[in-house]
Copies of this chain bind each other. A is one copy, B any other.
């Protein structure tokens, strides 16, 4: 078999690859890491229960939802010792229940509110509730009994996975019961012919990735929070992440869902789950409405997802990573178009960040620049290209050809190619440490939007200009505005780093940013969901009839509105009363 090292070497040399940390070797041929999907550096994996509060401004945390959270519904039951006694009778393990409610007869010892903080507070320190009870059932049967009880007693429930969400969807607003899935962490089945994995909702994404790797498969999604987030949460938020460009959305790859419905029986609905009755997990099944699709991205408002069946792709045998510097955003688009055309089926990620983003990362993570020289005029735009394929030589040749053409055409100014897995991880970390680096500089107002590519970066520029004009930067209240994201999916993350979360900065940003997105026919939530933050802002991206239909669907599934109340959609005026139709 022929190798094309010569041609690729020439390309790489012309790219002036540096010998710095991320590209240490002197040899500059394109090298695939013949390994495994990259274990991207990202948020540290910390079990919820052991999270420390060291840096948390606990007492000053405020729930924010465009400034307004709907009041607590008075018809929801206040949790008490009788409820605790019932839940204890249902749970197979005493450690599945944590509560601050005192036991009248000493049959349990009450926890402190400190013990519950990790479940009441989101990881951004932005949303905080005051739930007195956290339940961590181990089986779908336990979840069913809990939900049936909550339905009958009108107890509000927040389904919670790894609590890595960014929009306040997974923590209580008031005193809702927290139903955490971390006790449901069993892999149920894996079929190594079809690649179909069936698992409890509480399995951690990275655990699933590690399970699949030796079998030659991988998860079709990857995201920064992989070390903590649960697959049930991924499905409930329709997580997108780094691989969507290649492997598509969960609407395509999730084949089956098991969920517990908020009705008097805690009905377990099983759609295309092996062993759940009816057809198992199949790539094709056209027997009725595809109910599982509704649960994907429903943020726990239609039922509690307890199990997932998902189609996993083959692990690529070759992975290449390159980071390129280009002079303007137009060139970013040109590189993307060329990459799609020339890399075709092996293009697996196309990420982007701006100069502000790189500066933040270099300043706050100790990483060194992957480039030999400073960009002309002090500013550039950066893209990360990843290829994943089944033949290393072919992939090297395709990527080499692309880079050669981009250099010849004068599109790219500088670039670095990873020579091994460590270097590939280093390049990925430039992109993936960005959220963390922003967090070190201040409190981050995070916006996750989709906008057509042609109008993608102008949104960042407009925001930056706006805050300059308003003097918000001069007085230090807004420190910087950073743009980065998944170009391949038109998904832009705008991070506005402020001194603190306060009304002044928030009102400068919201709803202006939603309006700016709506003007461009974009989405105000590309992959992070609505939660508490955007429940009242859906109209920026969906029409009135669509929202009305959504509200009716929610009411159909959850007639008493006990799941994640006050979140996801604008509230409806009336809840149906007893005796009205319920889910059978």
Could you list which residues of chain A lie within 8 angstroms of chain B, going by C-beta atoms?
1-4, 191, 193-194, 216, 237-238, 240, 244, 248-249, 251-253, 261, 267-271, 274, 276-280, 282-291, 293-294, 296-298, 302, 314, 316-317, 333, 336-337, 340-346, 388-391, 394, 397-398, 450, 452-454, 486, 488-491, 518, 521-530, 534, 538-550, 552-554, 556-557, 568-569, 581, 583-584
From A283, which residue of chain B is reached at the shortest CB distance?
A: B489
20 more A-B contacts (CB under 8 A) besides A252-B252, A287-B538? Answer: A193-B336, A251-B251, A269-B545, A270-B546, A278-B539, A278-B542, A282-B526, A284-B526, A285-B541, A286-B523, A286-B530, A287-B523, A287-B530, A288-B568, A290-B293, A345-B345, A391-B394, A544-B584, A553-B553, A556-B556
The 9 A-B pairs with the shortest beta carbon distances in the complex, nearest first, are A2-B2, A252-B252, A344-B390, A293-B293, A285-B523, A280-B521, A284-B526, A279-B541, A345-B345
Nearest-CB distance from A408 to chain B (Å)?
A: 16
A-B contact pairs, 15 of them (CB 8 A): A1-B397, A193-B336, A252-B253, A269-B545, A279-B522, A282-B489, A283-B450, A284-B523, A284-B526, A316-B344, A345-B346, A391-B394, A394-B397, A549-B557, A556-B556
From A167, which residue of chain B is reached at the shortest CB distance?
A: B286
Nearest-CB distance from A519 to chain B (Å)?
A: 11
B345-A389 in contact (CB<8A): yes
Which of chain B's residues have a CB closer than 8 A to the CB of A491?
283-284
Given A252-B249, A525-B286, A528-B286, A543:B270 Cβ within 8 A: yes
State the copy count for this chain. Answer: 2
Q: Which of B278, B314, B518 contacts A344 (CB 8 A)?
A: B314
B523-A269 in contact (CB<8A): no
- Bound CA span A193–B451, Å: 13
A529-B286 in contact (CB<8A): yes
Nearest-CB distance from A266 to chain B (Å)?
A: 11
Given A269-B543, A278-B543, A345-B345, A450:B337 Cβ within 8 A: no
B391-A552 in contact (CB<8A): no
- Bound CA span A488–B311, Å: 13
Nearest-CB distance from A223 to chain B (Å)?
A: 12
A237, A249, A489 — which one has the most chain B CB atoms within 10 A of its CB? Answer: A249
From A195, which residue of chain B is reached at the shortest CB distance?
A: B340
- Bound CA span A348–B283, Å: 15
Q: Which of B267, B341, B490 contacts A314 (CB 8 A)?
A: B341
Q: Which of B193, B283, B524 contacts A249 (CB 8 A)?
A: B283
Which of chain B's residues have a CB closer than 8 A to the CB of A542?
271, 278-279, 287-288
From A395, which residue of chain B is reached at the shortest CB distance?
A: B394
Which of chain B's residues have a CB closer than 8 A to the CB of A391?
344, 394, 397-398
From A7, which residue of chain B is reached at the shortest CB distance?
A: B1
Which of chain B's residues have a CB closer than 8 A to the CB of A541?
278-279, 285, 287
Nearest-CB distance from A347 to chain B (Å)?
A: 9
From A450, which residue of chain B is reached at the shortest CB distance?
A: B282
B284-A546 in contact (CB<8A): no
From A517, which residue of chain B is reached at the shortest CB distance?
A: B279
A271, A282, A488, A526 — which one has the most chain B CB atoms within 10 A of its CB? Answer: A282
- Bound CA span A343–B316, Å: 11
A284-B521 in contact (CB<8A): no
- Bound CA span A543–B276, Å: 8
Given A289-B297, A389-B345, A283:B244 Cβ within 8 A: yes
Nearest-CB distance from A10 to chain B (Å)?
A: 14
Nearest-CB distance from A309 to chain B (Å)?
A: 12
From A297, which residue of chain B is reached at the shortest CB distance?
A: B286
Which of chain B's residues have a CB closer than 8 A to the CB of A454?
193
From A485, which residue of chain B is reached at the shortest CB distance?
A: B284
- Bound CA span A554–B271, Å: 17
A294, A336, A388 — which one has the most chain B CB atoms within 10 A of its CB? Answer: A294
Which of chain B's residues have a CB closer than 8 A to the CB of A336?
193
Which of chain B's residues have a CB closer than 8 A to the CB of A302?
289
- Bound CA span A344–B317, Å: 9
Which of chain B's residues have a CB closer than 8 A to the CB of A550?
288-289, 291
From A553, which residue of chain B is reached at the shortest CB distance?
A: B289
- Bound CA span A553–B276, Å: 22
A526-B285 in contact (CB<8A): yes
- Bound CA span A568–B528, Å: 35
B333-A193 in contact (CB<8A): yes
Nearest-CB distance from A523 to chain B (Å)?
A: 4
From A274, which residue of chain B is reached at the shortest CB distance?
A: B521
Nearest-CB distance from A508 to chain B (Å)?
A: 23
Nearest-CB distance from A101 to chain B (Å)?
A: 33
Nearest-CB distance from A517 to chain B (Å)?
A: 8
Given A390-B344, A391-B344, A526-B284, A294:B297 Cβ within 8 A: no
- Bound CA span A194–B490, Å: 9
Which of chain B's residues have a CB closer than 8 A to the CB of A518?
278-279
